[in-house]
């Protein structure tokens, strides 16, 4: 593992790489499980409902979700898919992002650019290792037609696999990769940039000033990074459309990123690409607080920084 500190007392001091830390892998899994089980999944369900049903208002979306299962409707897809995804993608993110960020710093990149590189690497690794089929099945749970006969989510997954194979249960994985790559590049990069700006504005630019950051400073940086990282909402709407189980006249059966974008624009115009932006901003802030800010504290506590 190669995590590095955001700030260094001596900016000219050589960077030191630490050996692989399995504590960081467990830490990433734990942080993501906490994030998704608290506020993460409700924001995810609301975001998916709005992105898949672009004619609905926020009030209509909330009502539809509640009618599907009461309060538990906001946690559709949590067990097992969100838990499987969370227990693996958090570890993949922290492990890969830390390694890539270290390599970028060694190559001479600034903390801001190294953060972007780490986020991109971590996001891509997430998409192609664990997130493809889990994200698809979470979207299936939110968008599929609920019949009177209750079907097991595993049976639904098995039916899709039987009909369409590996490609079927990984539908939309390329869109997931683009989303994750740009998501975490933005979150890590913008949060590090915001932290640097806060340090310089409040504590000056002297060696050691970075260690004066308070919890509220880090939270503010995470809110900024998490909010601004949602600039890529169009690719998220495209991803939802590619994975949605909603049947509609004129809707292509097998979609690519390009054909999904064309279909959305034809039916909903440019505003269709920004449906679900508000719950996604909330989700982005919460994820960044958990994985970046809380992650920094947790790594420092367990001495894996």
pLDDT digits (tens, 9 = 90+) for 222-250: 888 878 888 999 999 999 999 888 888 88
pLDDT of residue 285: 84
- Confidence category of residue 2, pLDDT binned at 50, 70, 90: very low
Mean pLDDT of the chain: 83
pLDDT of residue 161: 87
pLDDT of residue 19: 56
| pLDDT above 90 as % of the chain | 26
- Confidence category of residue 305, pLDDT binned at 50, 70, 90: low
- Is the predicted pLDDT of residue 213 greater than 90, yes or no? no
pLDDT digits (tens, 9 = 90+) for 167-205: 888 888 888 888 888 877 787 778 888 888 888 888 887
| Contact yes or no for 276/233 (Cβ under 8 A) | yes
pLDDT digits (tens, 9 = 90+) for 252-294: 888 899 999 999 999 999 999 999 999 999 988 888 788 777 8
pLDDT of residue 6: 44
pLDDT digits (tens, 9 = 90+) for 9-23: 444 556 665 555 677
- Is the predicted pLDDT of residue 72 greater than 90, yes or no? yes
Instruction: With CA atoms as reference, report the closest residue to 241 among 204, 217, 275.
Output: 275
Q: Burial, 210: exposed, middle or buried (Cβ in 10 Å; 0-12, 13-18, 19+)? A: buried
pLDDT of residue 149: 62
| Contact yes or no for 191/288 (Cβ under 8 A) | yes
pLDDT of residue 14: 64
pLDDT of residue 298: 81
pTM value?
0.77
pLDDT of residue 4: 42
pLDDT of residue 20: 56
- Is the predicted pLDDT of residue 302 greater than 60, yes or no? yes
């Amino acid at each position: 593992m190669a995590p590095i500190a955001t700030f260094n007392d001596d900016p000219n001091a050589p960077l030191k790489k630490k050996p692989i830390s399995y504590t960081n892998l467990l830490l990433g899994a734990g942080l993501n499980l906490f994030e998704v089980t608290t506020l993460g999944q409700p924001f995810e369900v609301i975001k998916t409902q709005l992105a898949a049903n672009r004619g609905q208002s926020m009030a209509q979306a909330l009502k539809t979700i509640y009618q599907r299962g009461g309060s538990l409707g906001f946690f559709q897809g949590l067990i097992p898919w969100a838990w499987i995804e969370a227990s693996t993608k958090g570890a993949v993110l922290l492990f890969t992002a830390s390694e890539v960020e270290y390599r970028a710093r060694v190559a001479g990149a600034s903390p801001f650019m190294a953060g972007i590189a780490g986020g991109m690497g971590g996001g891509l690794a997430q998409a192609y290792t664990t997130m493809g089929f889990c994200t698809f099945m979470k979207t299936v749970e939110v968008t599929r037609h609920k019949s009177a006969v209750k079907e097991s989510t595993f049976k639904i997954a098995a039916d899709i696999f039987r009909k369409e194979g590996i490609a079927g249960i990984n539908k939309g994985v390329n869109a997931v990769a683009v989303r994750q790559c740009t998501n975490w590049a933005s979150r890590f990069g913008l949060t590090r940039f915001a932290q640097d700006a806060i340090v310089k504005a409040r504590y000056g630019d002297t060696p050691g000033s970075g260690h004066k950051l308070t919890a509220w400073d880090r939270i503010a940086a995470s809110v900024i990074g998490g909010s601004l990282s949602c600039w890529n909402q169009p690719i998220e709407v495209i991803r939802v459309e590619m994975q949605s189980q909603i049947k509609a006249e004129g809707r292509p059966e097998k979609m690519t990123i390009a054909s999904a974008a064309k279909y959305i624009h034809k039916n909903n115009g440019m505003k269709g690409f920004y449906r679900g932006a508000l719950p996604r901003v909330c989700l982005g802030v919460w994820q960044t607080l958990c994985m970046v800010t809380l992650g920094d504290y947790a790594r420092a506590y367990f001495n894996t920084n």
